[in-house]
Structure 1
Amino acid sequence: MTNYIVFVVVVCFRIGVFIAVAGLSAVAVATEHDASADHETQLEHILVTAQRRVQNAQEVPVSIATLSGEKLDALFSSGDDIQALTSKIPGLYIESSNGRIAPRFYIRGLGNTDFDLAASQPVSVIMDEVVMENVVLKSFPLFDTEQIEVLRGPQGSLFGRNTTAGIVKITSVKPEQDFSAYSKMAAGSLGTLNLEAAAGGGLTESLSGRISLLSQQRSDYIDNGFTEERNFTGGHKEKAGRLQLLYESADFQTLLNIHSRDLDGSSSVFRANVLTTGSNQLNENYQRDRVWHDSGDGNFRLYKGFGASLAFEFIVPEMSLTMISALEKADGRGKSDVDGGYRIDADFDGVPEQMGPGFIPFSAVTEDQLNNLQQITQEIRLASDTDKAVQWQMGAFYFDSSFGVTSIDGFFGATSVYHSNQSWALFGQTSYELTEAWTLSVGIRYTFDEKSFRVGEQNVGGAALAVGAARIQQYDPLFQDDGQWSWDFSSNYQFTNKVSGFARLAKGFRAPSIQGRNVAFERDPTTAESETIHSAEVGIKSDLLDDSLRLNTALFYYLIDDMQLSAIGGASNSNTLLNADKGTGHGFEVDLTWHATKSLVIAGGFSYNHTKLKDDDLLVGTCAACTLTSPSINLPGAGSQRFAYVNGHSFPQAPETILTLNARYGIPLRSGELFFYGDIALQGKTKLFLYQSEEFNSSGNYEAGLRIGYLNFASHYEAALFGRNITDEHNLKGAIDFNNLAGFVNEPRVIGVEFKKSFF
């Protein structure tokens, strides 16, 4: 308790200093500027729902960044999945070893590297007001999207699930009475073909609808050098759709949202020994369009999903009542050659007749199946609806999820485990305008969360039972539950009508987790206790130079107790949950938009993030073939497996810096505009695993995009030439460490053309 009091005192002191210095500086800049700037360079206000009510983003006491419109069109023009957002917003990072399925999100360095379909993540994805909890649900494709908001830091008092890292909030274009429609087609290299269309408008005086459709495909472009099969893997075909019906009257509205997807795609492509001992640089074993796989059936991913939500809003005197009921379902399976190479042991004498690239100790292939995922959520909120000084909202939330995961290994066979999770919460928040310039907000939430786990069939169809390398063990069901309070306290102060400062203190928690993947490999399931986070941040939001320059900054610090970690891989190839005593992070974010001239807009941002694990005794298994730079030891009974101390290490997959910039230049023409749009994202030093090694890290990864097009305002169409990863960078994104020095990389360069026609 004493440490916590010291923590709060120090943070509050820093808050005061930061706001005083930054606020005075911003006011000075605003005052010194000549007020004769061109009106045509003024930036529009961005409206967000970070506090479950529509507000100007500049007035919300949260570090928040948004993407919408042309920026989203540019990022997704080549048919990328949600991972295209990585490093495009300061502090946000996304990666996946499952291709377009099961992305892993990180905000301010805090995330979870667990690749399993039952992984718990500290970043929540809220899509059209519904939490997408399972990692597969978080991969739903983005199309006909109105806006994406990234809320940094713990969020718990308002949204469906507690989250210790932050929220990615995705909002689709909603139906309205006025008719609007568009169709869009893009064709590019690697057989890329993307089709997107939407249409909506009034069906009656009170009822409007909108239908949105997506079809994306890319040809398999990676050959298999082992089988000499051309176009072996790397492509995808995905179809998705959404139907929305909105009924509105003077005091009532309801929105029905029905959506589905069908994916036939590829996993991330694992490549054996593409790193050299002592180096993190891709070597001569690496070729973008060629692998050497002896199994995995082309690294396929086959998934289907369906969801529906029904939202009611009742307007009563000075209040509104909102109820949201939602159902999400998904099933699928995928298979991968996880050693990334080939090995033939025809005589079963332990001496391989063939193997490569490099040394492959043993062949490894896994298949994962997600069986009957079903998530049900129910939320009810009552909120004030006045212009009074006091604003408030309160509500309740219920969550129920169940699914099975079957892991199939080439030696051990198939093992099925079953997870379920029930949770309920009560929450409330109130804001009070002390003066016209100063607002205080307080939020509180109580959450109870219970998880259960049981083992079904074990080692079905594998050779391990026959040769005595496996046994059927009876496991008692596991139960984990906890109930905790979360809270946040924030303050927003308007120094001028263009410059404000905010401060925020928050506590969040992530409920206990259960991971049972180890059962498939003759090891026990593991659990992790709840983690709690105390976070402090201060920031300045400003619209300067006659509203042509928007400059927002935030400084943050957080302390995590009993931090949940996933020890992935290691020479024993385990997937183990554990708790570190503490984890800390501090840094800052800068978000910038500058309408420099009538024709030129520059935007982007920078984030610095320093994270550290604090646990003197915490040990994790290490790689089979890498060069460790962590202190390590051998443990009795562990054979050749070494274990590394991770105290003082940074978090895995937590880029120390992210720099993102984009610019648009328009040239007016007689009936339209010729435009040039470019963006670049630079990722700083990033460690891939809990331990440190010479090989499994990256630094200086970057990607750039370019879009050149023509907008015809009279006929409402757009034609563009685009390129994503235009310099064809080969960036190490992740690794497989239990077998050899295998890795996987980013998406290749895609160049294409796009045409969009809008109708009004």
Structure 2
Amino acid sequence: MTTPSRRTPRPHALAAATILALSPALAAAQDSATTLDAVQVTAQRKVENIREVPVSITSIDAEKLDVLGSGGTDIRFLSARVPSLNIESSYGRAFPRFYIRGLGNTDFDLNASQPVSLVYDDVVQENPLLKGFPVFDIAQVEVLRGPQGTLFGRNTPAGVVKFDSVRPAQETSGYAQVAYGSDAMFNFEGAVGGALGGNWSGRVSALYQRRDDWVDNTYAAGANDGFEGYDESAARLQLLYEGEGFEALFNLHRRDLNGTARLFRANIIEPGSNRFVAGFDRDKVAVDGINFSDLEAWGGSARLRWDFGDLSLHSITGYETLESLNRGDIDGGYGAVFLPDSGPGLIPFASESADGIPDHKQVSQELRLESDYGGRFDWQAGLFWYREDLTIDSFNYDSLAPGNPLAGHAVQEQENTAWAVFASGEFAASERLRLRAGVRYTQDEKDFSARVLEAAPFGAPVGGPYTVATDVDDVSWDASAVYTVSDAVNLYARVAKGFRAPSIQGRLLFASAAAPNGGVSTADSEKVISYEAGIKADLWDRRARLGFNLFRYEVSDQQLIAVGGGANIATLLNADKTLGQGAELDLEAWLAEGLLLTWGSSYNDTQIDDPNLAVAICGGGCTITDPTTTIAGGTYALIDGNSLPQAPEWIHNLTLRYGVPVGEGEFYAYTDWAYRSAVNFFLYESPEFRGRSSLEGGLRVGYGWGGGDYDLAVFGRNITDQTRIVGGIDFNNLTGFINEPRTWGVEFRYAF
């Protein structure tokens, strides 16, 4: 056993030390002639200075998005890039799972709801596969922390991640960007827009990304030779009409993805620890299953606004649909222990499965009336309606038979209808004090049915339909105050209540024949009360900007998912209570002429508070550190006091950009770093399934000229080539999946 050196500081201590070390530079920022532009956000459904909004918000601008996405990575590149935000996936590029302040959902079912809502161009993206739409031609991303149930609705108890595309304009503008890098990575994105005649303007944007496989399959009889490659394209068309007192913005978008599903690797975790086994080679696997990820998604929206002087009426209509199929080798190896040949390590039995959505549609409609009296009081109120129809196919395959034939098929179908009425108001109680409050009533219905059409080995027999219906209503609300200390400093406090509608889980193929209702499980509504208080300030004549807040929340009946375990079936649960508390910091400052710093930090302490809640443990190989109990002859872990899964205590992120004039242009260097502390993969605690802390960095060095029209740069992502286990499969053996490798490339951009 190795004893850590006493001289090794903890990462959060390093963060504090870094801030202290930067203090002289921050003070010196007063001598810089460069100032920060005001940040405008739409967190309250209208354009406001970020300092005036009583919500913990981080805004990410277009340049930073471009740098972070240089390597062709998917939306997960935002993980740990803002305080309290973690993103992970067991599907690869197709199905990101978001966590804010530790609240999220590790469920891998295609019917899973998440407590973090993703809103793209004012339309909620409810299904988890819709949440991974590529990031390109984006004006701004806003991360809103804490319940947002009044203005954004149900399923937002943790917060909202909000994307806003670059809008069309009468002026001709656009860009083209091409990059090439390691593993034959090729990225293209571009946009062009301008006047179309009369009051119309338009903008078309497109993205294409590809990368070769970088992992070899050493199993000679494997169906795939290599893994981790992808081929992805997306496009967006926008048309804008601007008339007298009327505006209409139409949006059509599409995404096509063909690549590798998440690559699972058998027995890569050293028993009793969270480290790789000796000899681990991330460039090689040995699997006998078929692996692919196919996704097609498209949608459209119409955003209309009528201006009646001191009142405006907004209508937002959205439509989304998708088809998908993801197939993978779940056991992460080949063969089985009862055969002459198997590996790597112990493979108790083969497991190969796929999940897909053959039929899906989502329709949403919002009508919102907003006042602009120019006085002490303004308000907004509206109606919202939502409908989703969804069919999910779940397949099992026999990896041990020639051709990997079908060996199990189950179908889930769900209809979800929700509607809401909401109102929010703001009142200037004095010259320094502004008060806000809002309320929303929501009604949510789900009708669910599941059937086993072909039984999987050792699973539930053919049967069904197994049905569940839920019908709930709830009232969400928020109240806040902003106190102006000076022209540059605001204090705020906020209390908010949010809720998540019931969830239904129907992964039936491996359910016991005696399981109630065929193995369908339901989690009741969860409700959260959150408190936060903070300060937002412009410092040193707008050469620096600070946001800091403290928060505490309590979740009643939190929805949790007991994923996998020895029985290989996911089960929905409600925890009696979950507690969370912490702090968040956002800082941006010009340290010197040409040197810009951004720094973000968060501390999140989460705890499950339910003395009687027990979950199934791993199928073998792991070390359970929780107390255990026996239920119906099986061993279960008592998880009272555990932190939430995928909830890092600490997140720190740093960017530094230095630019200096050279010739007719600017030479610049941009580095970014993101740290997250260790996380549990599952509800129970086990050293094998606790991901180690992670620190990933990026670098971009380039030269821009022509007034910013031209840019040529070299870039690197994960430049230290850090390799980490970021998730696990616990029903079979010590199987895990890992992060993206180091990538390098060169990029050219032309803007006009």
* Short-chain TM bin: over 0.9
Q: Which residue of 2 aligns with 1:687?
A: 680
2:585 and 2:358 map into 1 onto residues whose CA distance is 42
Distance 1:34 1:406, change over 3 A: closer
Residue 626 (1) aligns with residue 622 (2): yes
User: Which of residues 559, 568, 580 is equivalent to 1:585?
Assistant: 580
**Hey, what does 1:493 align to over in structure 2?**
483
Please tell me whether the aligned partners of residues 704 and 726 of structure 1 are also in contact (alpha carbons under 8 angstroms): yes
Task: Output the amino acid matched with 2:624.
Answer: L
Match of 1:610 among 575, 597, 605: 605
Rounded Cα–Cα distance in structure 2 between residues aligned with 1:688 and 1:317: 53
Which whole-Å CA distance do the structure 2 matches of 1:470 and 1:172 have between them? 46
- Native 8 Å contact 2:409 2:509 kept in 1: no
Map 1:316-715; keep pairs closer than 5 Å. Answer: 316-344=308-336, 351-410=338-397, 412-459=407-454, 470-519=460-509, 521-522=511-512, 523=515, 524-624=519-619, 625-638=621-634, 642-714=635-707
Looking at structure 1, the residues matched to 273 and 510 of structure 2 have their Cα atoms a distance apart, in angstroms, of 33
The separation in 1 between residues aligned to 2:199 and 2:749, in whole angstroms, is 30
Provide closer, same or farther for how the CA distance between residues 715 and 497 of structure 1 changes in structure 2, counting only shifts above 3 A. closer
Residue equivalent to 1:306: 298
Between the aligned partners of 2:543 and 2:203, the Cα distance in structure 1 is 34
Q: Deviations over 1:19-55 (max 9, x none)?
A: xxxxxxxxxx9xx9899644x3211101000000000
Q: Which residue of 1 aligns with 2:216?
A: 223
Deviates more, 1:109-118 or 1:712-721: 712-721
Q: Post-superposition shift, 1:325? A: 0.8
Work out the CA distance in 2 between the residues paired with 1:340 and 1:58: 49
Aligned-residue offset at 1:713: 3.0
> What's the counterpart of residue 22 of structure 1?
none
Q: SS of the counterpart of 2:76? A: helix
The residue correspondences of 1:173-188 to structure 2 (distance < 5 A) are: 173-188=166-181
Q: Secondary structure at the match of 2:348?
A: coil
Aligned residue type for 1:255: L
Pick aligned residue for 2:139 from 139, 146, 149: 146
1:293-327 CA-partner distances (Å, limit 9, x unpaired): 011x2x21001001000111000131000001111
- Partner SS for 2:463: coil
The CA distance in 2 between the partners of 1:34 and 1:337, in whole Å, is 56
Contact 1:160–1:379 under 8 Å retained in 2: no
CA-to-aligned-CA distance 1:240-288 (integer Å, 9 cap, x gap): 0000000001200000000001100112211101101101011235321
Counterparts in 2 of 1:259-298, with a 5 A limit? 259-284=253-278, 286-295=280-289, 297=290
Q: Using the TM superposition, give the Cα deviation of residue 447 of structure 1 relative to its aligned residue in structure 2, in angstroms.
A: 0.3
Aligned counterparts of 1:480 and 1:267: Cα–Cα separation in 2: 32
Tell me the TM-score normalised to structure 1 length.
0.92
The answer to whether the 8 Å contact 1:702/1:731 transfers is no
Structure 1 residues 628-679: Cα deviation after superposition (integer angstroms, max 9, x where no partner): 11111232343xxx21000000000001100100100001112110000000
Task: Please give the alpha-carbon distance, in whole angstroms, between the structure 2 residues aligned to 1:444 and 1:154.
Answer: 12
State the one-letter code of the partner of 2:380: Q
Say what the alpha-carbon RMSD is for the aligned residues: 1.7
2:227 is the counterpart of 1:233: yes
Contact 1:274/1:285, CA 8 A, preserved across alignment: no
Aligned length: 713
Instruction: Report the AA paired with residue 96 of structure 1.
Output: S
Q: Which amino acid aligns with 1:116?
A: D
1:86 aligns to 2:82 (yes or no): no
Cα 1:637–1:179 change in 2 (3 A) is: same
Q: Residues of 2 paired with 1:725 and 1:619: CA distance?
A: 38
Partner SS for 1:74: helix
Output the amino acid matched with 1:163.
T
Q: Is the 8 A contact 2:29 2:589 kept in 1?
A: no
Matched, 1:243 2:233: no
Q: Secondary structure at the match of 1:363?
A: coil
- 2 CA distance for matches of 1:600 and 1:395? 45
Specify which of 710, 717, 724 is matched with residue 717 of structure 2: 724
How many Å apart are 1:505 and its aligned residue? Answer: 0.3
Q: Deviations over 1:207-236 (max 9, x none)?
A: 000000100001111101112778511010
Q: Deviations for 1:532-560, whole angstroms, at most 9, x for unmatched residues?
A: 00000001001111211111101000001
Tell me by how many angstroms 1:714 deviates. 3.9
The aligned amino acid for 2:646 is Q
Structure 2 counterparts to residues 112-131 of structure 1, below 5 A: 112-131=105-124
Whole-Å separation in 2 of the counterparts to 1:160 and 1:529: 17
Q: Distance in 1 between matches of 2:65 and 2:667?
A: 19
Secondary structure, counterpart of 2:563 in structure 1 = strand
Query: Which residue in 1 is equivalent to 2:150?
Result: 157
AA of the residue aligned to 1:608: Y
Would you say the 8 A contact 1:285–1:357 is kept in 2? Answer: no
Q: What amino acid is aligned across from residue 615 of structure 1 in structure 2?
A: D
- 1: CA distance, partners of 2:28 / 2:682: 51
Q: Tell me by how many angstroms 1:355 deviates.
A: 1.4
- What is the SS of the residue equivalent to 2:419? strand
- Aligned counterparts of 1:577 and 1:476: Cα–Cα separation in 2: 16
Contact residue 153 and residue 440 of structure 2 kept, 8 A? no
Aligned equivalent of 2:401: none
Q: CA deviation at 1:457?
A: 4.7
Query: How far did 1:159 drift?
Result: 1.4
- Once the two structures are TM-superposed, the CA of residue 477 in structure 1 deviates from its matched residue by 2.0
Contact conserved, 2:221 with 2:288, CA < 8 A, in 1?
no
Q: List per-residue Cα deviations over 1:330-386 (Å, max 9, x = no partner).
A: 0010100011111257xxxxx321111111111111111112110000000000023
Instruction: Note the alpha carbon deviations across 1:47-95, whole angstroms, 9 max, x for none.
Output: 0000000000111000000111221111111111100000000100000
2:340 alignment partner AA = E
Contact 1:252 1:315 in 2 (8 A): yes
Q: Give distance in 1, aligned partners of 2:697 and 2:567.
A: 38
Contact 1:632–1:644, Cα closer than 8 Å, also in 2: yes
Q: Residue 56 in 1 paired to residue 57 in 2?
A: no
- CA drift of 1:598 comes to 1.4
CA–CA separation in structure 2 for the residues paired with 1:384 and 1:512: 34
Tell me the CA shift for residue 387 of structure 1.
1.7
Structure 2 counterpart of 1:225, one-letter code: T
Assess if the C-alpha contact under 8 Å between 1:302 and 1:332 holds in 2. Answer: yes
* Displacement over 6 Å in runs of 4+: 32-36
Structure 1 residues 34 and 618: alpha-carbon distance in aligned structure 2, compared to 1, 3 A threshold:
closer
**Among the aligned pairs, what percent are the same residue?**
44
In structure 2, what is the Cα distance between the partners aligned to 1:140 and 1:256?
18
Please state how far the C-alpha of 1:455 moved relative to its aligned partner.
Answer: 1.8
